[in-house]
């Protein structure tokens, strides 16, 4: 080393030592006394002390950190054998760069990036230093390691011998690889998020920190950009992968819906909330190019604001997210609604059922190509935690994949137990989904579970289900045609009353600052509606009485009422908010929960896919078969069953449908044509 370089290094060490003595002695004392392996240095503090030091740190981070550690050893309180890592936090946002902007010029420089953890591997030990012994003279040689292959000495530093050396010792360090993905708000609406592999070592994989770095978490990474040669068929390629060796990882406190709000923004939002027409303006700002659907758009506005997640004393949670399912005829703009919401919401993911798997939606376990273990990778619902996931054509997903959504929609967690990974991820995500009826168009006379290729258990987890029907109506068709044609003639007229940017800020403000509680008036309104509907007398004298509404719908009305109060920026849910939630719930129940045979509300049409009147008919047929068994034995003639059921007022086509259902469920089978038999 020449004198100039040595003089420069001594000067840097002295500056670092001065910085520690003036600003960080108490922090250093705490780190040593608590057994910490790192000293965390505030980058902004160092920058204020000496900007030249931070410039040197960014340009030559490895040298700067070594000199900082040398400065530490000059401090009296630091034991000689103590090796503290130096980690830098609080890098200013102005110095952060996007993952997509990292280039070869950043290699060996310090960068700070922010994003979502998409994938996390197992923690594995990796060699940092390997000690070799010369077979000729016994000299021990320490070789620092980097990359994926062992580096051996080429010549003995003592005797000059060349050839194989004996591996006698190694220093291991715990390592974990995570994959960081760009955050949605950093992207243009049509951009594909970029990813970067990050390597965490030593105390950055401490179990306490590891809990904060599960897939789906948002973090800020400070680290040094490195290149790794791509191995192609056993040979090193001229192409390289860029990775980041993390110096520090900080969980980001900022949620995705918390967009930066200036005092001017807050003033505008608070003034807007006092406008008596704010509800109408918000509704008109949802997909203004789509004509009509006022009630559906109103429900989507409430969904964007959401209810309040409640944690009860017994450690159970009640979700605050409102899930909505749109079931409609072809060409009624369901997909356009979903696309608009995914663009307007502060944090959103859009996926299509045809191209989505259960792993892509929830989470999966994949092979890690670097550390040769298993990695946990987050899907769209986990990545949209605290946001909204728009799932188009949800009925086109594979049955096995839809099963994974049950837990995500109600418990709002994703539990993975595959390979050697057992983990629970947070999925506090709102679901807006769209589906097409099996037979092309929606049939109001059949239960919704018969019309969508989805299990009733999943359908019942949606708070609101809206059927969208394309029915010819001269007056409405005229207005629809005029609306569409005017959008071609004068597209500027379709500008939303509230811009998407301002709407995002409005939603962010409400989610951050407004946490409404139910008033007595609102509670009484919801209770009166719930109890009144359940206590209505049934029109028929059926053996089973229909249940018009269940506790799930009661909770949904509370969520809708809370969202309504949030729009007004009120911390109290008033009677008018409750009445609004009740009105939207009644609209949905009348559309999909009405039993057309009895004219009564029956929640079983949604929850189980079989209405109470249909269940009564099944019970009647079951009793008829039992009675006929006493006359014919186990094999009962089908014609006699049909005749007996017709005498009790059941239509022949309905009887055949019921018997087919009982066969499919395994309750009946047909030993020969025209004869049925109950399974033993």
Of the residues 220, 251, 282, the one at which a domain ends: 251
Q: Does 113 share its domain with 76? A: no
- Confidence band of 323 (pLDDT split at 50, 70, 90): very high
Residue 570 has pLDDT above 80, yes or no: yes
Mean pLDDT score, 569-589: 90
Q: 111 with 225: CB under 8 angstroms?
A: yes
Q: Is residue 256 part of a domain?
A: no
Residue 53 has pLDDT above 60, yes or no: yes
Asked if residue 492 has pLDDT above 50, the reply is yes
Identify the CATH number of the domain in which residue 653 sits: 1.10.10.10
215 inside domain: yes
Is 650 domain-assigned?
Answer: yes
What pLDDT band is residue 608 in, cutting at 50, 70 and 90? low
Does the residue 258 lie in any domain? no
Summarize the confidence of residues 365-380 as an average pLDDT.
Answer: 72
pLDDT tens-digit map of 635-653: 888 888 888 888 877 777 7
Q: Which residue has the higher pLDDT, 489 or 107?
A: 107
Q: Which of 625, 70, 509 is nearest to 264 (CA)?
A: 509
Burial string for 195-209 (b: 16+ CB within 10 Å, else e) reads bbbbbbbbebbeeee
88, 57 in Cβ contact below 8 A? Answer: yes
> Do residues 412 and 450 both lie within one domain?
yes
The residue among 90, 120, 136 that closes a domain is 90
- Per mean pLDDT, which range of 43-57, 267-281, 339-353, 611-625 is the poorest? 611-625
**68-82, 317-331, 358-372 — most confident range:** 317-331
Q: pLDDT-based confidence at 602, cuts 50/70/90?
A: low
The pLDDT tens digits of the residues spanning 407-462 come to: 888 888 888 777 667 777 888 889 998 888 877 777 777 777 677 777 777 888 88
Name the average pLDDT for the chain: 80
Query: According to the model, what pLDDT value does residue 559 have?
Result: 92
Tell me the residue range of the domain where 627 lies. Answer: 611-678
Cβ neighbours of 443 (radius 10 Å): 16
- Nearest in space to 100 (alpha carbons), one of 86, 118, 113: 113
Distance separating the N- and C-terminal Cα atoms of the chain: 91
Do 346 and 446 lie in one domain? The reply is yes
Residues 98 and 86 in one domain: no
pLDDT on residue 356: 66
In a domain, 84, yes or no: yes
Looking at the structure, tell me whether residues 37 and 120 fall in a common domain: no
Greater pLDDT, 653 or 48 = 48
Same domain, 434 and 531: yes
Q: Structure pTM? A: 0.70
- Report the alpha-carbon distance of residue 655 to residue 662 in Å, rounded: 11
Whichever domain contains 82, its CATH number is 3.30.1640.10
Question: 472: exposed, middle or buried (C-beta count within 10 Å: 0-12, 13-18, 19+)?
Answer: exposed
Q: Which of 215, 221, 227 is nearest to 201 (CA)?
A: 221
Cβ atoms of residues 285 and 496 within 8 Å: yes
Return the higher-pLDDT residue of 534 and 237: 534
Per-residue pLDDT averaged across 298-305, rounded? 91
- CATH number for the domain harbouring residue 171: 2.40.50.140
Identify which of 132, 97, 121, 100 has the alpha carbon closest to the alpha carbon of residue 111: 97
| Angle separating helix axes 294-305 and 334-344, nearest 10 degrees | 30
pLDDT range class, residue 542, cuts 50, 70, 90:
very low
Q: 530-551: string of b/e by CB count within 10 Å (b at 16+)?
A: beebeeeeeeeebeeebebbbe
Instruction: Give me the number of domains the chain comprises.
Output: 4
Residues 158 and 305 in one domain: no
Where is average pLDDT lowest: 49-53, 255-259, 387-391? 255-259
Please check whether residues 589 and 619 belong to one and the same domain. no
The answer to which of 19-28, 297-306, 325-334, 356-365 has the lowest mean pLDDT is 356-365
User: Does 598 lie in the same domain as 546?
Assistant: yes
Confidence of residue 299 (pLDDT cuts 50, 70, 90): very high
Answer yes or no: is 547 within a domain: yes
> Does the structure show a pLDDT above 50 at 187?
yes
Residue 98: inside a domain = yes
46 & 108 share domain: no
Residue 441 backbone phi and psi in degrees, to 5: -125, 155
Of the listed ranges 447-451, 500-504, 663-667, the least confidently predicted one is: 447-451
Q: Percentage of residues in the chain with pLDDT exceeding 70?
A: 85
Whether 565 has a pLDDT exceeding 90, the answer reads yes
Statement to judge: residues 548 and 451 lie in one domain: yes
**Between 148 and 53, the higher pLDDT residue:** 53
Whether residues 200 and 239 share a domain: the answer is: yes
- Provide the pLDDT for residue 545: 52
Measured CA to CA, the distance from residue 279 to residue 591 in angstroms comes to: 23
Confirm whether 257 is domain-assigned.
Answer: no
């Amino acid at each position: 080393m020449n004198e100039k370089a040595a003089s420069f290094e001594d000067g840097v060490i002295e500056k670092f030592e001065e910085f520690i003595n003036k600003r960080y002695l108490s922090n250093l004392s705490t780190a040593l006394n608590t057994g910490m392996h790192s000293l965390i240095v505030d980058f902004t503090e160092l920058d204020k002390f000496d900007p030249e030091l931070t410039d040197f740190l960014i340009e030559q981070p490895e040298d700067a950190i070594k000199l900082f550690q040398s400065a530490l050893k000059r401090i009296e309180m630091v034991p000689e054998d103590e090796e503290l890592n130096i980690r830098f936090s609080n890098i200013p946002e102005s110095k952060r760069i996007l993952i997509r902007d990292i280039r070869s010029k950043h290699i060996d420089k310090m960068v700070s990036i922010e994003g979502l953890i998409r994938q996390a591997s197992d923690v594995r030990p990796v060699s940092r230093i390997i000690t070799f012994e010369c077979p000729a003279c016994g000299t021990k040689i320490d070789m620092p390691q980097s990359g994926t292959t062992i580096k051996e000495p080429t010549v003995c530093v003592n005797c000059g011998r060349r050839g194989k050396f004996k591996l006698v010792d190694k220093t291991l360090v715990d390592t974990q690889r995570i994959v960081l993905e760009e955050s949605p708000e950093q992207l243009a609406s049509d951009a594909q998020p970029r990813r970067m592999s990050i390597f965490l070592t030593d105390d950055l994989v401490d179990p306490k920190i590891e809990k904060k770095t599960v897939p789906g978490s948002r973090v800020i990474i400070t680290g040094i950009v490195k290149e790794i040669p791509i191995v192609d068929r056993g040979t090193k390629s001229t192409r390289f992968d860029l990775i980041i060796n993390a110096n520090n990882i900080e969980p980001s406190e900022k949620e995705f819906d918390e967009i930066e709000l200036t005092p001017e923004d807050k003033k505008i939002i608070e003034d807007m909330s006092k406008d008596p027409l704010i509800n109408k303006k918000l509704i008109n700002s949802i997909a203004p190019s789509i004509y009509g659907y006022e009630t559906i758009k109103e429900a989507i506005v409430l969904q964007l604001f959401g209810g309040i997640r409640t944690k009860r004393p017994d450690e159970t949670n009640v979700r605050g997210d409102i899930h909505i399912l749109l079931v409609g005829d072809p060409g009624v703009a369901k997909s356009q609604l979903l696309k608009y919401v995914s663009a307007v919401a502060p944090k959103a993911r859009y996926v299509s059922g045809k191209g989505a798997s259960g792993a892509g939606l929830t989470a999966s376990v994949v092979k890690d190509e670097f550390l040769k273990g298993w990695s946990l990778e987050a899907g769209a619902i986990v990545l949209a935690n605290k946001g909204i996931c728009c799932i188009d054509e949800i009925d086109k997903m594979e049955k096995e994949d839809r099963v994974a959504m049950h837990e995500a929609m109600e418990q709002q967690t994703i539990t993975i137990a595959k390979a050697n990974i057992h983990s629970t991820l947070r999925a506090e995500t709102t679901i807006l989904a769209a589906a097409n009826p099996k037979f092309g168009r929606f049939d109001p006379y059949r239960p919704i579970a018969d019309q969508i290729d989805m299990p009733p258990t999943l359908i019942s987890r949606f708070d609101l289900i809206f059927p969208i029907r394309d029915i010819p109506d001269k007056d409405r068709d005229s207005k629809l045609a005029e609306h569409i044609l005017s959008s071609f003639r004068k597209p500027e007229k379709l500008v939303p009353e509230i811009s998407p940017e301002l709407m995002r800020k409005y939603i962010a403000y409400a989610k951050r600052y407004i946490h409404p509680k139910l008033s007595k008036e609102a509670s009484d309104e919801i209770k009166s509606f719930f109890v009144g509907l359940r206590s209505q007398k049934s029109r028929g004298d059926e053996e089973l009485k229909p249940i018009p509404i269940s506790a799930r719908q009661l909770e949904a009305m509370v969520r809708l009422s809370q969202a309504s109060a949030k729009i007004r920026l009120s911390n109290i849910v008033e009677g008018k908010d409750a009445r609004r939630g009740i009105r939207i719930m009644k609209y949905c129940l009348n559309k999909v929960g009405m039993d057309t045979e009895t004219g009564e509300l029956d929640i079983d049409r949604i929850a189980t896919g079989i209405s109470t009147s249909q269940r009564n008919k099944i019970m009647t047929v079951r009793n008829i078969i039992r009675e006929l068994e006493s006359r014919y034995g186990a094999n009962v003639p089908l014609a006699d069953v049909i005749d007996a059921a017709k005498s009790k007022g059941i239509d022949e086509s309905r009887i055949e449908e019921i018997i087919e259902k009982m066969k499919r469920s395994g309750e009946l089978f047909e030993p020969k044509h025209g004869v049925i038999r109950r399974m033993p």
